[in-house]
Amino acid sequence: MNDRPANLEPPLAELDSATRRLMSALDALESAVERRREADRDEDELATRIQALGADRSRLADELDGSLVRSRKLERANREIAERLDAAIGTIRAVLGEANGAGADHEEDEDE
């Protein structure tokens, strides 16, 4: 006189199997969520690095522009100095030439 039906055990086995599948699926879902969080952290870290690289690039571009301006100023100053030196050398040669010419004229005067 058992009040329970005889076919009660198979549904319990199916329920147990379904519970195990559900637990396995939940574990897989939890693992997937953790991987996604990790990927998001990696993405955030990568975005931060890219932003830092962009800032470095901007800073380096500014420094390069400043260096180019400074280089052009130095080249211009170098040309001006070279022109002045050439003019000074020319003047010195002219003075020396006149002195040599005057010295030669003076020697001719003495010979006479």
**Domain ranges (residues) in the chain:** 22-111
**The pLDDT of residue 86:** 97
Q: What is the pLDDT of residues 13-43, one digit of tens each?
A: 899 999 999 999 999 999 999 999 999 999 9
**The pLDDT of residue 8:** 55
CA dist list (Å): 28 to 19, 35, 40, 66: 14, 10, 18, 57
**The pLDDT of residue 13:** 86
Of 78 and 3, the structure prediction assigns the larger pLDDT to 78
Cα separation, 75 vs 81, whole angstroms: 10
